[in-house]
Structure 1
Amino acid sequence: MRTTALLALGAMAVGLVATGASAQTSWPERTINVIIGASPGGDTDFNARTMARYFEQVTGTGMVITNMPGGGATIATSAVRDADPDGYTMLFGHTGHLIVTEVSGLADYGIDDFEICCIPAIDQGAVFVARKDSGLTTAADVAAREPGSVTFGTEFGGYSHLQGLMFQQATGAEMTIVDTGSASEKIAALLGGRIDVAGIAYGAVQDYHTSGQMVVLGQPNPERNPLLGDIPTFVEQDIDFVMNNPYIIAFPKGTDPEIVAKMGEVMQQITEIPEYATDLEQGFKQPVSFLPHDAAMTRLNEIRDAYMPSREALQAAR
């Protein structure tokens, strides 16, 4: 009787192990809804769609991209936070969506309220640009202007707003910061002469820079992103201004850790595909980067700590 009972328990244990292994390998079994807090055509949308294309190549399962712009991405992040944690709703965002919104008070939640999977990419393609007829060619030019005479276009409470504040801190410039809106709206405002300076992805303004309609003031990377050509860093201009933007893959709180880990493994496989690197380079001058969960959490917490001193300034502008 005792032997029979032990055999039964052993069989049950084997069954449970088999079930666990099946759960680990069966995801994904259907299309995954990837929600992003940005409009089509920008850098976040580009990165999400590029990831989705290679995700299907690796797993055989598709992803659908759902754009939910507005509210500083809080519409999108709220939708993911409140979704069923079944592994089939995922957020593709960046620190502006999950850290800056918390710092600015746009959201009463942050990275701790999600299951963070990984940092799938890091935006190293951002630059500060000025319209040609502004006469601004360097960060020092901005700092030398009369207080309030340079207009910086941003989206209040968002990542580019924090860019402007930290640029001012680093340079001593005193700009007039105005709410312009999305990246495409910033470009229109620059071309229309309504703003003087903006922080934006170089891929979005490269043609205007090449044609001479815009001047690039610098890139806020610790070292030059070689894909940006001869554009100097602000560090090279003796300005302590380094601010690049990791993207974030996150799931609703309570999502099976095996699913979160599997997504991280798939994303790492994607970053090792040569064609993926080529797509990032051609799209937004972005080198391949990847940080798994633990390293991602360390990086994100460091960023949150660095941004918190700007909390009052961000909230005052709302």
Structure 2
Amino acid sequence: MSKWMSKKTGSIFMISTMTVMLAACGSEESSGSSEGEGSKYPEDSIEVVVPAGAGGDTDRNTRTLANYMEEELGVSLVIQNVEGSGGSTGTSEVLDSDPDGYRVVAYHDAMLLNNILGLTDYSYSDFELAGISILDQSNTFMVSAEAEYDNAEEMIEYAKKNPGDVNVATETGAFTHLQLLAIQQETGAEFNIVDAGGASDKITALLGGQVDVVPTSLGLVEEYVESGEMKSLGILAEERLEQFPDVPTFQEQGIDVTFDKTFMWAFPPETPEEVVNTFSEAMETVVTDNEEFREEISSYAVQPEYMNPDEAEKLLDETNEYYTELNESTE
């Protein structure tokens, strides 16, 4: 510095040169910043991991919503079915993914149950929630048309008289697993609980006579009801469904057990808030305002129901507490 001060002319030249250089750098940084702010997420296709097999209600609901969200986001949403371990194989893949917004998981309450039942050491709170999109109150128990019981009350009565004789399909650690534990606890019935895989696998098992009862979404098996191949024993809701007014609730039949299934979307931890918000806002637009989507999804006997990340977290906190208490009471 002292050398520069002793050579005034050189000093002025150097300072002027540095000033020009700094100004140029500042201009470049400003330009880069503007470009960063102007760049729009998403700029590439988004992989949607469905932790369930193709053909089930999770897969169907996700593909339906993704189809409409592509119009809002302007990119493709590519569905990847990743089965295994009650859904935990798929959720763990997303949990460990780069938090860049280009991989998201679409799942439901089973993520909570995976943790409660000991399949995972993480839960919904470890992800960046994008929100809830669908509410399913059509959870039902299906049997073949030839079954000797026509409703849940008769099925429970038979199961109590014949402990372990009623083979009920589920997937260990999944949503229907806790339903069965809760109903056994409530009624004193004893089922033979069979791990038959995902939704489509359980339906195949029932059609093939490998199991007697399949807990599933009523909207998913509507065609089998209409064809006379299956019948519903009731739904695990507080009220009958408008779409199936003749199907009674379990509560009506003296079985005080209800379950709603909420379908959520979540990103890996540390995904930028602006990315999550962009995705969530697109979801809100479709679920709330797109009448074509609302009509299509409602035809599956589920409800289009948007909740933003904060609302979703609150509901899942309450649900997690309920499931935890319920599981503890069945142990």
TM-score between the two structures when normalised by the length of structure 2: 0.84
| Maintained 8 Å contact 1:140/1:171 | no
Aligned equivalents of 2:72 and 2:179: distance in 1?
36
Task: Indicate the RMSD between aligned Cα atoms, in angstroms.
Answer: 2.6
The answer to whether 1:274 aligns with 2:291 is yes
Deviations 1:55-109 (A, max 9, x none): 111222111111111121122111101111011111111111x201101111111
Q: After the TM superposition, which residues 6-155 of structure 1 pair with which residues of structure 2 at under 5 Å, given as runs? A: 22=38, 26-96=40-110, 98-145=111-158, 146=161, 147-155=163-171
Deviation at 1:155, TM superposition (A): 1.0
| Maintained 8 Å contact 1:227/1:281 | no
Deviation at 1:148, TM superposition (A): 1.8
Instruction: Summarize the Cα distance change of 1:229–1:19 in structure 2 as closer, same or farther, 3 Å threshold.
Output: farther
Aligned equivalents of 1:313 and 1:100: distance in 2?
15
Which residue of the other structure, out of 235, 242, 245, is the alignment partner of 2:251? 235
Aligned equivalents of 2:108 and 2:157: distance in 1?
32
Aligned equivalents of 1:277 and 1:117: distance in 2?
19
Aligned equivalents of 1:228 and 1:158: distance in 2?
25
Instruction: Summarize the Cα distance change of 1:287–1:310 in structure 2 as closer, same or farther, 3 Å threshold.
Output: closer
Deviations 1:121-178 (A, max 9, x none): 1122321112233311122112212222222111112111111112222333221211
Aligned equivalents of 1:311 and 1:22: distance in 2?
49
Letter in 2 for 1:274: E
Which residue of the other structure, out of 213, 216, 228, is the alignment partner of 1:212? 228
Letter in 2 for 1:81: L
Deviation at 1:208, TM superposition (A): 2.1
Which residue of the other structure, out of 171, 193, 208, is the alignment partner of 1:192? 208
| Maintained 8 Å contact 1:31/1:88 | yes
Identity of aligned residues (%): 37
Aligned to 1:287: 303
Deviation at 1:19, TM superposition (A): 6.8
Letter in 2 for 1:74: S
Aligned equivalents of 1:135 and 1:219: distance in 2?
18
Instruction: Summarize the Cα distance change of 1:313–1:198 in structure 2 as closer, same or farther, 3 Å threshold.
Output: farther
| Maintained 8 Å contact 1:124/1:245 | yes
Deviations 1:107-126 (A, max 9, x none): 11111211111011112232
Deviation at 1:17, TM superposition (A): 8.9
Aligned equivalents of 1:87 and 1:73: distance in 2?
21
Aligned equivalents of 1:294 and 1:68: distance in 2?
27
| Maintained 8 Å contact 1:94/1:248 | yes
Deviation at 1:32, TM superposition (A): 0.6
Letter in 1 for 2:248: P
2:306 aligns to what SS in structure 1? coil
Aligned equivalents of 2:329 and 2:174: distance in 1?
12
Deviation at 1:250, TM superposition (A): 0.2
The answer to whether 1:181 aligns with 2:197 is yes
1:285 aligns to what SS in structure 2? coil
Instruction: Summarize the Cα distance change of 1:22–1:143 in structure 2 as closer, same or farther, 3 Å threshold.
Output: same
Aligned to 2:10: none
| Maintained 8 Å contact 2:53/2:200 | no
- After the TM superposition, list the runs of 4 or more consecutive aligned residues in structure 1 that deviate by more than 6 angstroms: 14-17
Deviates more, 1:112-121 or 1:166-175: 166-175
| Maintained 8 Å contact 1:128/1:198 | yes
Aligned to 1:3: none
| Maintained 8 Å contact 2:166/2:192 | yes
Gaps of at least 5 residues in structure 2 are 1-22
TM-score between the two structures when normalised by the length of structure 1: 0.87
Letter in 1 for 2:315: R
Instruction: Summarize the Cα distance change of 1:89–1:280 in structure 2 as closer, same or farther, 3 Å threshold.
Output: same
| Maintained 8 Å contact 1:227/1:287 | no
